[in-house]
């Protein structure tokens, strides 16, 4: 390109940009188009492989390979903009050490084996184990990265065919509290609103959600709105200062766990000022209480069941008296003034408020409670289910909603309803064409308990797909040792070698993402279809087809009769029978293929953007004007949930809080993103963020090695001081993506007794400058 | 004139009465307007005080702190004029630096020989804009809070050297290192004191080669990853 052409292009781009800024939304792909060659590239649509935002991508294909990515301008999610992971996502297909063949452990060594033989062995081992030790001695552990068909055949095999509820997914570690929050407050799962709320809200309150890094495309939509509309405010409520804090209009730091008190204090202030929406509360809400002192699940076989009783509005008000701004200032470290400010934002009838949250609230020993409490705020002021008024629970994985929550690949769930419900079992048995007695009426093992049972020896066979628990399970040392004990048989399906494939007895090579056909479902109830675009390497096979192959070998051919060419379409048709109706109707296969994602409930050819609202949701059409139809009487619950302390707090021996999380450049355990050179170069290894004052006292300088010790393990890693994030004094933060620096050897396996989701955000550690020998 | 003379004295008195009433009403209206405006301004001020971002409470993050600086002007950048007459290029950008990352010299006559910087430099270099005196758009500093400018930025008083030098500069970091066709190029340089992207990459003073086409996308590092140093591949010993 010569200078003249360059300048011409610059002028065109500038003119386009000027035009784009006049319209709301993001509009970005046209810009990118200018730099892309038009010759011989074929572009096909797919949802992004990484986070739960579910950006629409266009994949550039040439010579049988994926060679480029651009944002899909037709996608209402991202309107043509991606993040750095999305733009480089297709490079994750081409790491040099892709698993191309199956491996079977022989005499302690993993030996390359034809995939047919490996599948024979998996089926044979599964059958033998069931025969000798019973149905509940086998388990399957999947993922929110499972496509919808993967999860569906897994559920059908485990619950319908074999007859065990030992089916879990890593989404238990990621959004179980969001689900129990929805179920307890509304009786039905998943957000009532959608991303379009961003275009209407005046105030965004981010509850422990570093959106600038974790949901960057949605965050850009918020920033875009703030530029274009007057008076849009972003409030970052967090335990540490992050990139999100830097972009926010106000950053409020609270002490770990005190979000419970903070949310109650906001409710207290709303009622004290009379800002509540009285008619909304009267028509659409009940006040309830639940059990207290509910424990932390750190002991094996911990059991808990919540019980809710009616309370009066006055009793609720009395309950809130423990949470005056002055009292909560003591618990949370947030000034009473800031608490009143937050309450005034929620309480102002002229402002539309959207709350966003993700792991900060979900990975919490009171995760269900804090979800309930944020709903309480929105319900009290009636700011819900209308454009811009939205309590919005985000997810972390591309199909945590689509597969784990909607298909229900959790021990207590069925594709529609729960195993405890006879009608739900009957419905499943009918669609699956299995005897209803096959489906056990009792939930068995949730994720943490499943790995405990593997350690104890009750589970002897586990098949792990699309997830890397040997990096992500809390208190990792115990569960890694347990998985490697004699008499355990572990099958792992993955695309690259990981610490989890390292301990496997059989490795099955998987076809990933656009190497097969599938669907993902994102955080805003949007289902997105992608077709097979490139061939998988070697003998790699889709997770769906692996399960079908094993099921057939176990004698369940009749339940899995589909043809390889059309099985995804047929599975979709069978699966969507579960959700037929105006509360959860799914779009037909043909519509999914055509559009850049379709939101459910899909009723009479129309997506439902705001549920429970008579104007926008056919299932609520007789609402007045709302109907929370998840509950039998159409009323949502305002649950009085108290502040209770976390499972482990800093003390003299372990004086620091340890918080863990993600970074923008890597996705989860980095097994894909660390193999993308541009992302690895940007973030080559993990680190521990220290507060500068703490570092000074400990004599630690940036980059020097630090020894972190908890009651469960220790790790040496470099210090990061005044870099990306800054924790307050007495707290440290470590990302979990690095398989060479396993922070989960230190974390605690305490969980929310209601959701059974572990708390990765709070445990106690000791921080020391590492001696040379330790570095 | 004729009309005025034709008006009766009585009518004039009536007119005067009307005028007095009219003026009276005006006074009342203005007083109330002043009161209402004053009241609402006061409220706004109170609101502003309440809503002011608590930047003081946020501990500084040198590497990240400036990422969003200037972003409130993103739309101004997006609609800024082209600098076709006298564009800056990367060549002229690096000509002013001893090596990539070195503080640039001051290429123009000094505004005030005695000044340390501050008010002499910032009127043009804090926000940029066209400077008729030099017939150029002023480059924007990424670190306007550091006002002792001439601590690092020095004038060029002579083209001569005292003695020849064997100094060899390094090659500037390459641009357009996209990993794939059409993917966002990574950031090839370190960010110390240059963490505010818009300062150098947006507006008419930005060198044309590195001027962004989309300054309104202010979360730059959402798409542009920092690839400023050589990194070795991470190690994993796969035995199979």
Residues A615-660: tens digit of each pLDDT: 999 999 999 999 999 999 999 999 999 999 999 999 999 999 999 9
Distance from C-alpha of A205 to C-alpha of A41, rounded to nearest angstrom: 42
pLDDT, mean of residues B138-152:
87
What's the whole-number average pLDDT of chain B?
79
Task: State the pairing for strand pair A763-769/A656-661.
Answer: antiparallel
pLDDT, mean of residues A112-129:
98
- Residue A268 pLDDT > 80, yes or no? yes
Residue B99 · residue B170 · CB < 8 Å:
yes
What residues in B contact A223, CB-CB < 8 Å? 71, 218-219
Of the partner residues A220, A338, A684, the one whose CB lies closest to the CB of residue B217: A220
- Residue A32 pLDDT: 64
| pLDDT tens, residue by residue, A562-603 | 999 999 999 999 999 999 999 999 999 999 999 999 999 999
Residue A508 · residue A546 · CB < 8 Å:
yes
B37 assigned to some structural domain: yes
With a CB-CB cutoff of 8 Å, which residues 42-71 of chain A face chain B?
60, 67-70
pLDDT, mean of residues A356-379:
98
Q: Are residues B182 and A726, on separate chains, in Cβ contact within 8 Å?
A: no
| pLDDT tens, residue by residue, A204-224 | 999 999 999 999 999 999 999
- Residue B159 pLDDT: 84
Tell me which of B232 and A677 has the higher pLDDT: A677
Cα A400 to Cα A396, A660, B160: the distances in Å are: 7, 20, 67
Number of domains comprising chain B: 1
Confidence of residue B48 (pLDDT cuts 50, 70, 90): very low
Distance from C-alpha of B220 to C-alpha of A74, rounded to nearest angstrom: 22
| pLDDT tens, residue by residue, A679-702 | 998 899 999 999 999 999 999 999
**Vertex A184 angle, CA A183 and A189, to 5°:** 15
- Residue B4 pLDDT: 45
The answer to whether residue A31 neighbours chain B at the CB level (below 8 Å) is: yes
- Residue A132 pLDDT > 80, yes or no? yes
Cα A27 to Cα A22, A42, A71, A74, A86: the distances in Å are: 11, 21, 9, 9, 16
Q: What is the ipTM of this complex?
A: 0.76
With tokens 């006298």, the residue in question is B86
Of the partner residues B179, B182, B231, the one whose CB lies closest to the CB of residue A91: B179
- Residue B156 pLDDT: 86
Cα A207 to Cα A176, A341, A347, A374, A574: the distances in Å are: 17, 15, 17, 9, 38
pLDDT, mean of residues A285-300:
98
What residues in B contact A250, CB-CB < 8 Å? 51, 53-54
What is the pTM (predicted TM-score) of this model? 0.88
Extract the tokens encoding A609.
């953007």
Cα A388 to Cα A205, A275, A378, B100: the distances in Å are: 12, 18, 12, 47
| pLDDT tens, residue by residue, B187-226 | 998 887 888 899 999 988 999 999 998 998 888 999 999 8
Q: Are residues B217 and A28, on separate chains, in Cβ contact within 8 Å?
A: yes
To the nearest whole percent, how much of chain A has pLDDT over 90?
Answer: 92
B123 assigned to some structural domain: no
Confidence of residue A422 (pLDDT cuts 50, 70, 90): very high
Q: Are residues A740 and B61, on separate chains, in Cβ contact within 8 Å?
A: no
- Residue B31 pLDDT: 78
Distance from C-alpha of B101 to C-alpha of A714, rounded to nearest angstrom: 39
Q: Are residues A253 and B218, on separate chains, in Cβ contact within 8 Å?
A: no
The answer to whether residue A223 neighbours chain B at the CB level (below 8 Å) is: yes
- Residue B151 pLDDT > 90, yes or no? no
| pLDDT tens, residue by residue, A312-367 | 999 999 999 999 999 999 999 999 999 999 999 999 999 999 999 999 999 999 99
Go through the domains of chain A in sequence order and give each one's CATH number: 3-94 (3.30.200.210), 102-171+398-561 (3.40.50.740), 176-394+628-640 (3.40.228.10), 656-774 (2.40.40.20)
Within 8 A by CB and 6+ apart from B152, the residues are B103
Residue of chain B nearest A231, judged by CA positions: B51
Count Cβ atoms below 10 Å from residue A13 Cβ, excluding itself. 18
Q: Is A385 helix (H, G, I), strand (E, B) or coil?
A: coil
Q: Are residues A250 and B54, on separate chains, in Cβ contact within 8 Å?
A: yes
* H-assigned helices in chain B: 2-6, 9-51, 74-78, 90-95, 122-125, 197-201
B233 assigned to some structural domain: no
What residues in B contact A97, CB-CB < 8 Å? 238
Tell me which of A16 and A475 has the higher pLDDT: A475
| Catalytic positions of A | 85, 174-175, 359, 396-397
- Residue B54 pLDDT: 36
Count Cβ atoms below 10 Å from residue B153 Cβ, excluding itself. 16
The answer to whether residue A224 neighbours chain B at the CB level (below 8 Å) is: yes
Q: Are residues B225 and A216, on separate chains, in Cβ contact within 8 Å?
A: no
- Residue A185 pLDDT: 98
Range in A409-423, A745-759, B208-222 with the lowest mean pLDDT? B208-222
Distance from C-alpha of A336 to C-alpha of A332, rounded to nearest angstrom: 10
B196 assigned to some structural domain: no
Which region holds residue A524: left if phi is over 0, alpha if psi is between -120 and 50, else beta? alpha
Range in A458-472, A646-660, A700-714, B217-231 with the lowest mean pLDDT? B217-231
Extract the tokens encoding A20.
């784009």
What's the whole-number average pLDDT of chain A?
94
Distance from CA of B107 to the nearest CA of A (A): 25
- Residue A170 pLDDT: 97
To the nearest whole percent, how much of chain A has pLDDT over 70?
Answer: 94
Q: Are residues A227 and B186, on separate chains, in Cβ contact within 8 Å?
A: no
Pick from A227, A271, A98, A115: nearest CA to A676: A98
| pLDDT tens, residue by residue, A31-77 | 666 666 656 789 999 999 999 999 999 999 999 999 999 999 999 99
- Residue B51 pLDDT: 35
B6 assigned to some structural domain: yes
- Residue B59 pLDDT: 39
- Residue B1 pLDDT: 39
Q: Is A617 helix (H, G, I), strand (E, B) or coil?
A: coil
| pLDDT tens, residue by residue, B57-116 | 433 445 666 778 888 888 888 888 777 777 889 999 999 988 888 889 999 998 887 778
Q: What is the DSSP string of A244-278?
A: HHHHSSEEEE--TTTHHHHHHHHHHHHHHTT-S-H
Task: State the pairing for strand pair A526-530/A518-521.
Answer: antiparallel
B84 assigned to some structural domain: no
- Residue B6 pLDDT > 50, yes or no? no
Interface test with B, best of A5, A8, A15, A21 (most B CBs within 10 A): A21
B132 assigned to some structural domain: no
Distance from CA of B138 to the nearest CA of A (A): 20
Distance from C-alpha of A630 to C-alpha of A389, rounded to nearest angstrom: 19
Confidence of residue A29 (pLDDT cuts 50, 70, 90): low
Q: Which domain holds residue B33?
A: 2-44
B240 assigned to some structural domain: no
What residues in B contact A31, CB-CB < 8 Å? 213-214
Q: Are residues B208 and A18, on separate chains, in Cβ contact within 8 Å?
A: no
């Amino acid at each position: 390109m010569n200078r003249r052409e360059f300048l011409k292009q610059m002028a065109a781009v500038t003119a386009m940009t000027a035009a784009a800024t006049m319209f709301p939304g993001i509009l970005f792909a046209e810009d990118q188009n200018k730099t892309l060659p038009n010759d011989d590239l074929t572009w096909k649509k797919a949802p992004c492989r990484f986070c739960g935002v579910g950006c629409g991508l266009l994949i550039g294909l040439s010579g049988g390979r994926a060679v480029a990515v651009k944002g899909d301008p037709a996608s209402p999610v991202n309107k043509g903009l991606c993040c750095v992971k999305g733009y480089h996502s297709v490079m994750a297909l081409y790491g040099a050490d892709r698993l191309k063949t199956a491996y079977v452990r022989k005499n302690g060594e993993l030996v390359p084996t034809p995939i047919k033989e490996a599948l024979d062995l998996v089926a044979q081992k599964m059958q033998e184990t069931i025969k000798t030790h019973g149905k509940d001695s086998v388990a399957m552990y999947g993922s929110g990265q499972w496509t919808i068909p993967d999860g569906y055949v897994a559920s059908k095999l485990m619950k319908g065919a074999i007859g065990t509820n030992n089916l879990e997914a890593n989404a238990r570690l990621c959004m179980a509290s969001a689900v129990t929050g929805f179920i307890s407050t509304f009786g039905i799962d998943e957000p009532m609103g959608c991303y379009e709320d961003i275009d209407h809200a005046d105030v965004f309150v981010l509850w422990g959600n570093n959106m600038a890094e974790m949901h960057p495309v949605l965050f850009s939509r918020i920033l875009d709105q703030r530029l274009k509309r007057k008076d849009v405010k972003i409030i970052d409520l967090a335990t540490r200062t992050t990139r999100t804090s830097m972009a926010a209009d106000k950053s409020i730091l609270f002490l770990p766990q005190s979000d419970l008190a903070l949310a109650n204090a906001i409710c207290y202030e709303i009622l004290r000022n009379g800002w509540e929406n009285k008619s909304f509360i009267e028509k659409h809400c009940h006040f309830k209480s639940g059990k207290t002192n509910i424990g932390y699940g750190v002991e094996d076989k911990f059991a808990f069941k919540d019980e809710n009783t009616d309370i009066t509005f006055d009793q609720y008000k009395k309950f809130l008296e423990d949470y005056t701004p002055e009292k909560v200032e003591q618990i949370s470290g947030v000034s009473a003034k800031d608490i009143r400010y937050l309450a005034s934002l929620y309480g102002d009838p002229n402002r539309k408020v959207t709350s966003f949250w993700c792991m900060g609230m979900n990975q919490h020993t009171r995760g269900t409670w804090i979800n309930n409490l944020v709903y309480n705020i929105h319900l009290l002021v009636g700011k819900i289910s209308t454009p811009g008024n939205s309590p919005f629970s985000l997810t972390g994985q591309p199909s945590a909603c689509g597969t784990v929550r909607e298909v229900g690949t959790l021990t207590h769930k069925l594709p529609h309803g729960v195993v405890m419900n006879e009608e739900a079992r009957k419905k499943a048995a009918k669609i699956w064409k299995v005897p209803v007695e096959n489906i056990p009426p009792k939930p068995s093992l949730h994720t943490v308990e499943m790995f405990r049972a593997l350690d104890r020896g009750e589970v002897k066979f586990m098949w792990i797909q699309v997830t890397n628990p040997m990096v992500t399970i809390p208190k990792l040392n115990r569960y890694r040792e347990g998985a490697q004990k004699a008499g355990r048989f572990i099958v792992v399906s993955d695309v690259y070698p990981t610490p989890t494939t390292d301990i496997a007895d059989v490795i099955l090579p998987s076809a990933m993402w656009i190497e097969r056909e599938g669907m993902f479902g994102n955080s805003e109830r949007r289902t997105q279809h992608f077709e097979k675009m490139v061939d998988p390497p070697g003998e790699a096979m889709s997770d769906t087809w692996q399960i079908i192959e094993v099921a057939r070998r176990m004698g369940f051919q009749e339940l899995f009769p589909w043809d390889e060419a059309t099985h995804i379409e047929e599975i979709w048709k069978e699966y969507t029978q579960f959700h037929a109706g105006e509360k959860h109707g799914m779009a037909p296969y043909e519509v999914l293929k055509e559009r850049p994602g379709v939101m459910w409930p899909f009723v009479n050819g129309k997506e439902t953007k705001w549920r429970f609202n008579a104007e926008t949701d056919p299932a609520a059409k007789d609402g007045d004007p709302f109907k929370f139809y998840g509950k039998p009487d159409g009323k949502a619950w305002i649950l009085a949930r108290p502040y209770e302390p976390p499972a482990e707090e800093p003390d003299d021996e372990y004086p620091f809080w340890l918080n863990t999380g993600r970074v923008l450049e890597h996705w989860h355990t980095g097994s894909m993103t660390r193999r993308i050179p541009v992302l690895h170069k940007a973030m080559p290894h993990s680190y521990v963020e220290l507060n500068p004052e703490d570092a000074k006292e400990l004599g630690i300088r940036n980059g020097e090695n630090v020894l972190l010790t908890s009651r469960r393990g220790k790790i040496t890693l470099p210090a990061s001081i005044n870099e990306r994030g800054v924790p307050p004094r007495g707290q440290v933060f470590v990302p979990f993506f690095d398989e060479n620096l396993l922070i989960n050897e230190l974390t605690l396996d305490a969980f929310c007794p209601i959701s059974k989701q572990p708390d990765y955000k709070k445990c106690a550690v000791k921080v020391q400058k590492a001696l040379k020998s330790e570095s | 004139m004729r009309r005025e003379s034709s008006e009766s004295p009585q009518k004039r008195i009536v007119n005067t009465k009307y005028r007095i009433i009219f003026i009276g009403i005006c006074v009342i209206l203005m007083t109330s307007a002043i009161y209402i405006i004053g009241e609402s301004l006061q409220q706004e001020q109170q609101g502003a005080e309440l809503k002011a971002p608590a930047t003081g409470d946020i501990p500084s993050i040198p590497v990240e702190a400036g990422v969003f600086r200037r972003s409130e002007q993103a739309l101004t950048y997006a609609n800024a004029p082209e600098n076709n007459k006298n564009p800056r290029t990367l060549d002229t950008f690096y000509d002013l630096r001893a090596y990539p990352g070195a503080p640039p010299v001051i290429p123009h006559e000094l505004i005030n020989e005695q000044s340390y910087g501050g008010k002499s430099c910032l009127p043009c270099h804090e926000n940029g804009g066209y400077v008729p005196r030099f017939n150029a758009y002023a480059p924007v500093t990424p670190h306007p809070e550091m006002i002792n400018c001439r601590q690092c930025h020095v004038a060029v008083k002579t083209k001569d050297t005292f003695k020849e030098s064997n100094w060899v500069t390094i090659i500037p970091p390459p641009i357009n290192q996209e990993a794939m066709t059409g993917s966002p190029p990574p950031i090839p340089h370190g960010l110390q004191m240059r963490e505010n992207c818009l300062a150098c990459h947006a507006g008419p003073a930005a060198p044309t080669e590195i001027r962004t086409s989309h300054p309104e996308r202010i979360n730059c590092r959402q798409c542009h990853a920092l690839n400023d140093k050589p990194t070795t591949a991470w190690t994993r010993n796969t035995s199979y």
